[in-house]
């Protein structure tokens, strides 16, 4: 059973368009992180959210943690080719008894110039 479901799996858009990717679960998470991974590289942390309803902005990226801490979204405004990559969400499940970070399968984003 996939603890964190990410959608869509693949997304190809034109430069300048807006997009939203989702990370959903039936479990409650004490914290959730978003990473971006480029080909041949390791993931790079973008943001950590810990409070239900929390919204964080990083330039053109807006991250939201659901009120119930079961889901999260990443919105990119005016996408640029440099945003191309694999976007991964990862979280620590509440009450799991460990702090192990569980990753989703990712959303592969291509921004076409």
Q: Would you tell me which residues interact with other proteins (CB under 8 A)?
A: 4, 30-31, 33, 40-45, 48, 50, 88, 90-92, 98-101, 103-106
Nearer to other proteins, 99 or 113 (CB): 99
Q: Is-contact 79 11, C-beta < 8 A? A: no
Nearer to other proteins, 1 or 98 (CB): 98
Closest distance of CB 28 from other proteins, Å: 13
Q: Are 7 and 21 in contact (CB under 8 A)?
A: yes
77/94 with CB nearer other proteins: 94
Residue 41, phi then psi, degrees to nearest 5: -125, 165
Closest approach of other proteins to the CB of residue 27, in Å = 13
Q: Is 59 exposed, middle or buried (0-12, 13-18, 19+ CB in 10 A)?
A: exposed
């Amino acid at each position: 059973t996939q603890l964190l479901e990410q959608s869509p799996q693949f997304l190809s858009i034109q430069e300048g368009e807006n997009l939203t990717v989702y990370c959903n679960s039936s479990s409650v998470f004490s914290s959730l992180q978003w990473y971006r991974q480029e080909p041949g590289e390791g993931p790079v942390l973008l943001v950590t959210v810990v409070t239900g309803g929390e919204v964080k902005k990083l330039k053109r990226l807006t991250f939201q943690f659901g009120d119930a801490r079961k889901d999260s979204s990443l919105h990119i405004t005016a996408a640029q080719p440099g945003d191309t990559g694999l976007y991964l969400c990862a979280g620590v499940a509440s009450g799991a008894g460990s702090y192990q970070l569980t990753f989703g399968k990712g959303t592969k984003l291509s921004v076409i110039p």
